[in-house]
Amino acid sequence: MRSANLAAVLACLRDDGPRSRAQLAAGTGLTKATVSSLVGELVDRGLVSEGGLLRPGSVGRPGTLVELAGRGTCGIGVEINVDYLAVLVLDVAGEVRRQARVALDTAALEPAEVLARASAMTAAAHAEHPAVGVTVAFPGGVQGSVVRTAPNLPRWVGTDVAAGFAELALPVRVANDADLSALAEWSAGPHAHVPDLVYLTGEVGVGGGVITGGQLLRGSTGLGGEVGHLALTPGDAACGCGRTGCWETVVGLAALLRAAADPGDPLRDPGRDLEDRLAEVADRARDGDARTLAALADIGTGLGVGAAVLVSLFDPAVVVLGGYFAQLGEFLLDPLTQALGARVADPHRVVLSTLGFTAAVRGGAHVALQPVFTDPTTVPLEASA
């Protein structure tokens, strides 16, 4: 009962922002005396702090504002992607405490070596910002913590990803990267808590995360929303999954780079940071390079064709584009909207993610922190309190 009440106070602060005890009592339906006692305990657990005064104008003694504590308890998101590793630390107040990304040709390495590097990056983050848990984003289908499908990282099938982080002695979850990105879009930012949202991310693979009625669509084997392998095109370009005609072969990063640059062009060097390479694509497009512009127009049209299928199936209030689709969005939105508008009656809202390539790690850190919001007593009382 008490842990549920502590959780209700935390949720109120997370969803509605800093407030006075009286406002917390009104928001949770608890008495002011109970709220005061709960706030005291949450302060002792380092989860909330008391700061500024309620703005003037209210009658009587000014109330002290209670807010989520920006220090202390953190969650860590880790992303293993085809061409980079990333780590992000989020505190309970939703502030990013640390983030890092390194370019890595993951497909060329053994999973054990990649896991060792990812684990070392995570340990460094945990040493600086002690965390309650870790969630690892992986570009494929995951059951439990074992990779079941990984079209772009085939040698990972059967790998227990969580086992690679055992040295940390922290709870480690593993989830699909696009699903975590969709949760990141849904948990914060301009589209927070839109009940029906489709997230599409363009990287080497094309991932999708679908939230319907406020719930993440997982499907019977966790592959729900894995849209990159929709058989959408008659083309014979081979996909990493072994089939041909997948949507990813038309709009994935490889398709863009192949169309925009010849082999040997620095754009196609997987050892270079992806954002730098994409910035160069954007520069070429702004300079009016015909080949780059044609490649981007084709990607935009291909995106619209597939988005029309998803819009017809899920009727989302918003379609959020992430990954490279967001970084090059200014060149993709017009052809995309045109192709989409020709295929669905209602031109749905397509927007660009503002989280960039941090969406999956941010969603992972958010998920890693959830046990704290479910049961705040899992965080120990501070010795100095």
Residues 6+ positions from 337 with CB-CB distance below 8 Å:
304, 347, 350
> What CA–CA distance (Å, rounded) separates 161 from 257?
30
From 3-11, 135-143, 176-184, 224-232, span contacting Zn ion (CB under 5 A): 224-232
β-strand 141-143 against 146-149: which pairing, if any? antiparallel
Please say which residue, 246 or 296, places its beta carbon nearer to Zn ion.
Answer: 246
Among 126, 191, 229, 362, contact with Zn ion (rule: CB under 5 A): 229
Number of other CB atoms surrounding residue 301 within 10 Å = 19
We find the least distance from the C-beta atom of residue 25 to Zn ion, in angstroms, to be 54
Stretch that binds Zn ion, among 69-77, 131-139, 186-194, 233-241 (CB under 5 A): 233-241
CA 359-363-366 angle, 5° bins: 140
* 241 lies in the binding site for Zn ion (CB under 5 A): yes
Q: Are 83 and 62 a contacting pair, CB within 8 Å? A: no
The answer to whether residue 350 forms part of the interface with Zn ion (CB under 5 A) is no
Q: How far is the CB of 229 from Zn ion (least distance, A)?
A: 4
Q: Any contact of residue 239 with Zn ion (CB under 5 A)?
A: yes
Q: Where does this chain touch Zn ion (CB under 5 A) — which range of 179-187, 243-251, 300-308, 327-335? A: 243-251
> Given the complex with Zn ion, which of 87 and 246 has the nearer CB atom?
246
Chain mean position to CA 290: 33
CB under 5 A: which stretch of 31-39, 82-90, 217-225, 240-248 binds Zn ion? 240-248
Among the candidate windows 20-28, 55-63, 182-190, 232-240, which touches Zn ion by CB under 5 A?
232-240
CB of 139 to Zn ion, least distance (A): 13
Nearer to Zn ion, 255 or 333 (CB): 255
- By beta-carbon proximity to Zn ion, the closer residue of 98 and 148 is 148
| Structure-block tokens of residue 271 | 């050892």
| 89 touches 99 (CB < 8 A) | yes
Q: Which stretch binds Zn ion (CB under 5 A): 173-181, 210-218, 229-237, 343-351?
A: 229-237
In angstroms, what is the minimal distance from the CB of 245 to Zn ion? 8
Residue 345: count other Cβ atoms within 10 Å of its Cβ.
8
Q: Which is nearer to Zn ion, 229 or 348 (CB)?
A: 229
How far apart CA 302 and CA 233 sit, in angstroms, is 9
Strands across the sheet containing 172-176: 96-103, 84-91, 74-80, 131-138, 172-176
Q: For residues 63 and 154, which CB has a smaller minimum distance to Zn ion in the complex?
A: 154
Q: Is 227 exposed, middle or buried (0-12, 13-18, 19+ CB in 10 A)?
A: buried
Hey, is 113 helix, strand or coil?
A: helix
Residue selected from 246, 320, 326, 340 as contacting Zn ion according to rule CB under 5 A = 246
Interface with Zn ion, residue 355, by CB under 5 A:
no
**Residue 73's Cα: distance from chain center in Å?**
20
Name the site residues for Zn ion (rule: CB under 5 A): 229, 239, 241, 246
